[in-house]
Structure 1
Amino acid sequence: MTFIAAFLGWTLDAFDFYLLYHSASNLSFHFNLLYENFLIIINIISITAEFQMKPSDIATSITVTLLLCPVGALIFGILADKYGRKYPLIADIILYSVVELASGFAPNFHVFVALRAIFGIAMGGKWGLGAALAMETLPLECRGLFSEILQQGYPTGYLIAAIFYYAVIKTLGWRAMFWVGSFPALVVVYIRFFVPESKAWEKTRESRRSNTFNELKKVIKDHCLKIIHTTLLMASFGFASHGTQDLFPTFLKIQLLFSPEDIAITTVIANIGSIIGGTICGYLSQYLGRRKMVVISMIFAGAFLPLIAIPVNKSLVTFGAFAGACGILPAHLNELLPSRYRGTFPGLTYHLGILIASSSTQIEALLGEAFPKSGEQKHVNFMETEISPVEDIEVV
């Protein structure tokens, strides 16, 4: 039940986060964000001068969310190591559910960005708490498989967001997507009554009454190289994943002129591939080791990336999206970093790495604006501007 709670929390967290990517072009229309290539796609006739922004401004809200994630990871991580995993997790879920609901009522783009900043704090706390709670309840011999099943909550959330986009966006608009995104609050009831506190945390409960910050300083000093290593590892994952996922729906719509139905189908297939690949990698990591499996999965992901970034037809784009995603994370980070502070350090290094990579979406959008494709289809060439740096990161 603990694992199910962590999986549901991470799935719904990803669902909330990826609503923005699927809604990006619709947000551009609603907030009258001005960009000449968007005019061709969504036929904006009159634009309010006050909100003359570009697609890179939409990307700013994504960057702001990722920038604040380490803050949430640190705050909720310290609370989890001091007071237990369960109740800080409940508080975290309530916070991001409330913020997600409020995002659907944002009166202008600036309020929307402010709400996404607060959402970043809540999102930052979720991964570390859920991963620690889940990994501490599982026996060592099956952590690899269940670690990757847990991480597949992320593409599952993306998949649900894609399906919901297809079903809702034309009739109810982007705001309804964020209202439904507040449903994770219902998971709180499940956690409160059916999920026990971590036994690993309870065993060391008495010893945690000492000065937490002094102990944190000592742990950072003793494990400095491990913390740097895991942060850089997560940064490479961040550039690879956010570099190929965040603007993927926008790329399909603007550059390939996909319909909402085609976008939904392609992203659903891509995330089914991610779920299958990730689960297989998690199982194989039990026998090949975590590091070797990470290297193998990244090589395969890089090999299929050109099918997405240099598209020939819809079938190849769909196949490349299906085949190009897999990896190992929760178990690897929880095994590398000090067990006494599993609530703090896995989540903190995870989001510090993502923080380093947080500018990837905005860089792509800015490059796409600076170097649009010439010819009849004057739309932003997002994916061509990202392929080389992403492949370099994956090889490293």
Structure 2
Amino acid sequence: MRNYMAAGWFYSPQQIGRYLATRATSLRPPKAKLRNPIRVLRDLNRHQWHMFAVGFLGWAWDSFDFCTVTLCITEIASEFNATNSAVSWGITVTLMLRPVGALVFGGLSDRYGRKGAMIASLFLFIVFELASGFAQSLPQFLGLRALYGIAMGGLYGPAAATALEDLPYDARGILSGVYQNGYAVGFLLSAIFYRALVPTTPYGWRSLFWFGSGPPVLIIAYRWWLPETNSLQVMRAERESAMAQRQAPKSTAMNGTKAWLRDMRVSLKENWVLFVYLVLLMTGFNSCSHGAGDIYATFLKNQVGLGSTEVTAITVVGQIGNIAGGVFTGYVSTFFGRRLSMMVCCILGGALTPAFVLPRSMDLAASSFFFWFFNGGAWGPIPVYLSELSPPVLRTTAIGLTYQLGNLAASAAATIEATIGERFPLPPKDGVKRYDYGRVIALFMAASWAYVFIFLFFGPEMSQEEREEHGAEVDQIERLRKEGVSLAEIGAERAERAKRAGLGDESTRSIYLEKPTDIERIE
């Protein structure tokens, strides 16, 4: 998205006034006709499908490995003779360390490529998930989950960029919804294997962690077989060619590193306010996700009194709703606007919050489906929304770091809910202490929905003109590639074209050439 600060490090008062005055009108849907989703997906070629699939699988298993803790809180607490709130720190420390992974692996991904960063992160998944199943005390377990958080935080950005940045523009909305709900797929699979392994094997919760360390081996092999994304290869060639034109020939690696550091510095200076906004927005989104999901299984088991089979059934139904909502809203966001689509989901999700916690029977399955439909619907456009707002030179770092810093800010959600819930005791049942977790979840979610709605209303969005330019750039790469032009040649030609246009002394703006514009152009 184009971004320009008339006052240097900040926006001018005139820019701020014009921006605030256009927040309501900027919600007007784009001038795009609603296309048949099947025809939209037919636009993808084999390369684009493979890149999307491997990114989706990596993110789905990221979710699986994280959700093993949320589903096994009571079992782990029982084995280590600890409270549920103490074990819930296994969720919190994972979330707290994820920004470290996002910064490290995001930087490596933007400089050296999505492929290596994604493979390294998945390898660490195997190590720490397997080791978690062998923990002999709660401190050991919490330490391993903290290390796992670094690996988990490092995957989201490279996986999202791998999945989305080569897609045709019209397909990005619907596949953004599919990609983001890889989290729901992972949650769904973890619930299924929780029921299949935890109550039926002699090792209980440990068997779920051991199983979770296996599939990343296959995902690593799949990613190894695939190339870098076309967009990254063009951007890298353009950056290195532009640097080579400015100075005497040096090694390609040296040119690439210098060009990347230069572009990164310029991008940070020009977009720091946007980064702050995205972190604050993702704080709200992650509060919605973790506030609704992290102790919901505990609520069902401890307060409602359901068994593992019923808990699994409600969880599965809810996550099916999550997936359906994410895909649907991601699809319509391309034609009705990202912000407007997400804001509608916030309103409807907030209205359904009481039904999510008040029933005390399997009726919760129905309300859970519709609640998660709108929760997942609000999340559906997020990957493509983050991608569209992020500067190309820092796309992976920006997507991953803003998402994970939002996670960090919301990381204590499970512990806060569990701790406050213990202040509202209920009559014990069969000697087990019970707490009113439902009340706490409802209050927490009401505040989270309102927070997200407000930030979306005041947030930016790509203009229709930018959307059209964005789609044309991707189509051009595919057209030239089919004509036999190499990706390196496309990047070099763009650097030369930028030089001829008089932009040779400015930061190379990747394949999507950004032109300074006043903030009133930002919708």
- Which one-letter code corresponds to 1:359 in the other structure? A
Moved more, 371-380 or 236-245: 371-380
1:205 matched to 2:236? The reply is yes
The alpha carbon displacement at 1:211 in A equals 6.2
Map residues 111-190 of structure 1 onto 2, 5 A cutoff: 111-172=140-201, 173-183=204-214, 184-190=216-222
Structure 2 counterpart of 1:164, one-letter code: F
Partner of 2:435, secondary structure, is coil
Map 1:1-396 onto structure 2 (within 5 A). 1-33=50-82, 54-172=83-201, 173-183=204-214, 184-193=216-225, 195-206=226-237, 207=239, 208-210=256-258, 212-213=260-261, 215-315=263-363, 317-325=364-372, 326=376, 327=378, 328-374=381-427, 378-396=433-451
1:2-53: CA deviations, max 9, x gaps? 11101111111111110111111110111111xxxxxxxxxxxxxxxxxxxx
**Offset, 1:264:** 0.5
Distance, in Å, in 2 between the alignment partners of 1:389 and 1:269 is 22
CA deviation after TM superposition for structure 1 residue 60, in Å: 1.0
3-state SS of paired residue (2:434): coil
Q: How many residues align?
A: 374
Does structure 1 retain, via aligned residues, the 8 Å contact 2:428–2:434?
no
* Counterpart secondary structure, 1:373: strand
CA deviation map 1:330-373 (0-9, x unaligned): 10000011111111101100011111111111101111122212
3-state SS in 1 of match to 2:426: coil
Does the CA-based 8 Å contact 2:263-2:393 persist in structure 1?
no
Contact 2:68 2:208 (8 Å CA) reproduced: yes
CA deviation after TM superposition for structure 1 residue 389, in Å:
3.0
Per-residue deviation, 1:196 = 1.6
Shift of 1:378: 4.8
Separation (CA, whole Å) in 1 of partners of 2:206 and 2:160: 30
SS in 2 for 1:243: helix
- Map Cα deviations across residues 260-313 of structure 1 (whole Å, 9 max, x no partner): 000000000000011111111111111111001110112121111111222243
How many angstroms apart in 2 are the aligned matches of 1:89 and 1:81?
Answer: 12
Following the alignment from structure 1 to structure 2, what is the Cα–Cα distance between the partners of residues 150 and 28? 33
After TM superposition, give the deviation of residue 375 of structure 1 in Å.
7.4
Query: Unmatched 5+ residue regions in structure 2?
Result: 1-49, 240-255, 452-523
Q: 1:375 to 1:191 in 2, by over 3 A?
A: closer
The answer to whether the 8 Å contact 2:129/2:210 transfers is yes
The verdict on how the C-alpha distance between 1:106 and 1:135 changes in structure 2, with shifts beyond 3 A counting, is same
Please state how far the C-alpha of 1:56 moved relative to its aligned partner: 1.4
Distance (whole Å) between structure 2 residues aligned to residue 244 and residue 389 of structure 1: 8
Provide the C-alpha distance between the structure 2 equivalents of 1:60 and 1:374, rounded to a whole number of angstroms.
25
* TM-score where L is the length of structure 1: 0.91
How far did 1:185 drift? Answer: 2.2
Q: What secondary structure sits across from 1:379 in the alignment?
A: strand
Counterpart contact for 2:99–2:153, Cα < 8 Å: yes
Contact 2:314 2:365 (8 Å CA) reproduced: yes
Structure 1: which 5+ runs fail to align?
A: 34-53
Change (3 A) 1:103 1:312: closer
Instruction: Give the secondary-structure state (helix, strand or coil) at the position aligned to 1:138.
Output: coil
Deviations 1:63-100 (A, max 9, x none): 10000000000000000011111111111100111110
Counterparts of 1:210 and 1:86, CA distance in 2: 21
Compute the displacement of 1:236 (Å): 0.7
Distance change (3 Å), C-alpha of 1:151 and 1:4: same
TM norm structure 2: 0.70
Mean Cα deviation higher: 221-230 or 375-384: 375-384
User: How many angstroms apart in 2 are the aligned matches of 1:125 and 1:368?
Assistant: 32
Q: Which residue of 2 is the match for residue 39 of structure 1? A: none
In 2, Cα distance between the equivalents of 1:5 and 1:146? 13
SS in 2 for 1:177: helix
Q: CA deviation at 1:187?
A: 0.7
User: 2-side partners of 1:75 and 1:213: how far apart?
Assistant: 15
State the distance in 1 between where 2:368 and 2:144 align: 31
Separation of aligned partners in 2, 1:124 and 1:270:
25
Question: Cα 1:179–1:375, aligned 2, differ >3 Å: closer, same or farther?
Answer: closer
CA-CA distance at 1:329 after TM superposition: 1.1
Percent identical residues: 38
In 1, distance between residues paired with 2:187 and 2:158? Answer: 20
Q: Kindly provide the amino acid, as one letter, of the partner of residue 392 in structure 1.
A: A
